[in-house]
Structure 1
Amino acid sequence: MKSPFLTMIAEQMYLKRYAKSTIKAYLYWIAAFIRFNSMRHPTTMGNNEVELFLNHLVNQLNIAPNTQTQALNALSFLFKEVINKPLSLSLDFVMSKRATKLPVVLTQQEINHFFKVCSAKHYLPCGLLYGSGMRLMEVLRLRVQDIDFDYNCIRI
């Protein structure tokens, strides 16, 4: 069962016509914030506790940047709209960073092996994807009219 405080926040958000999914997410982060601070009431807390909570999310839970932003927005709503004590604009917390994704590059031997085991009906589309740099949907939507035999090229 929800606390009366969280129920009051949900009712206030319904009156402001927030989406149900937003209300659910905000209540989740507000409850997590309260639990993180040993069940203290948010009126007794401020910027310092918010900074510690956001740092905890990144450093211990390794959350994604969008998740941290959602938690910050929920707490900002809590302090601005419910408690009437807005957070400082200069909060000092560690921002979550998106992990850099390195591209996978196949060796020439791996490519040769791939085309040896590729079935005959998939050979041409795979060859076009590999050799031309076309996107998958561009290859799948190709028609005979798209091939210019005079100039030996494909019109996408």
Structure 2
Amino acid sequence: MSRSPFLEEVRAEMRTRHYSIRTEKSYLYWIKSFILFNHKRHPKELANSEIESFLSYLANQRNVSSATQNQALCALMFMYKHILHIEITQLAYQYTRAPKRMPCVLSHHEVQQIFAYLTGRNWLIAAILYGCGLRINEALRLRVKDVNFDNHTLFIFRGKGAKDRYTLLPHCLLDALQQQIQFSLQIHRQDIAQGYGLTSLPPALIRKYQSAAKDAAWQYLFPSSHLGQHPHDEYMCRHHIHETTFRRALRQAVQQSHVTKRVTAHTFRHSFATQLLLNGVDIRTVQELLGHTDLRTTEIYTHVMGSRFAHTLSPADRLQS
């Protein structure tokens, strides 16, 4: 299938600037949508009015969230600034501020209820999210080398903001992780026997350390069930499982557990932070474990705990006295 030369130019510019694959896919999607919305006219022929009409369509016809609308606007601004070299000014639409929401957290009992309906790999992923405070993409990107059994730590390679960090590794997960590593290495040996055996690596690493792609240490902890083409370098490799695989299993487990809260993969990370603070862990330590740059991001969990209301008596309770 032929690709659009213009979109390929956008893709090449993003890769030159080391944008993530997720951002690349997102930006290309919105730029393509913008072009189709304007009947396939070239963006250099379009200006403020067409951009404003497109953003209005997203908000009013497609009912997208403020974050999604901001993402679409970012994609268009990137295209005009870096590809077309056109400065867009006096746009009627500005970046919208997302409403500030308190994160949903689970009690320890609710976590146990959900875990009762998860098994095998899906249970281990959920346990890592809750026990280590990882984001779902960080958990799925874990490699064999990232698990340190000696000092009970997990290494997160290029987490959000391309930052490396360490977090704690619960003792209760050691046996399950050992079994998962053995499974991953077994898949790797089978790939090598069939003439493959390469894992998916960032472009800079595959060019610098070509042998690392076949190294057992670099294999994903949760390998995909099939081989695929590397999105950058197009060699056949084994990636990690897709996050929708876990999310589907989690959704089913939540329904079966009858926990009535809205639970996502990220809910376990919120619950990890809240439980640590409830157990007296210093907020700076929690900040470091979560990989937050700004302490104010971590401080939101102190509000979720509700500890400042602990000794406040509701007027309704006084009716009984």
TM, length-normalised to structure 1 = 0.60
Distance 1:20 1:93, change over 3 A: same
Pair 1:35 & 2:36 matched: yes
Distance 2:58 2:14 in 1: 24
Distance 1:59 1:7, change over 3 A: same
Tell me which residue corresponds to 1:121.
none
Partner letter of residue 13 of structure 1?
A: M
Pair 1:92 & 2:92 matched: yes
Distance 1:58 1:97 in 2: 14
Pair 1:25 & 2:26 matched: yes
Distance 2:25 2:94 in 1: 25
Q: Provide, for residues 3-54 of structure 1, a one-character-per-residue CA deviation record: whole Å limited to 9, x for no partner.
A: 1110111011111111111111000000000000000000111111100100
Tell me which residue corresponds to 1:10.
11
Distance 2:56 2:15 in 1: 30
* 8 Å CA contact 1:64, 1:96 repeated in 2: no
Within 5 A, what are the aligned runs for 1:43-54?
A: 43-54=44-55
TM, length-normalised to structure 2 = 0.30
| C-alpha RMSD of matched pairs (Å) | 2.9
Unaligned 5+ segments in structure 2 are 102-273, 280-309, 312-321
Q: Which moved more, 1:67-76 or 1:8-17?
A: 8-17
Partner letter of residue 60 of structure 1?
A: Q
Structure exhibiting the larger radius of gyration computed from Cα positions: 1
Tell me which residue corresponds to 1:67.
68
Paired residue total: 109
* 8 Å CA contact 2:9, 2:83 repeated in 1: no
Identity of aligned residues (%): 38
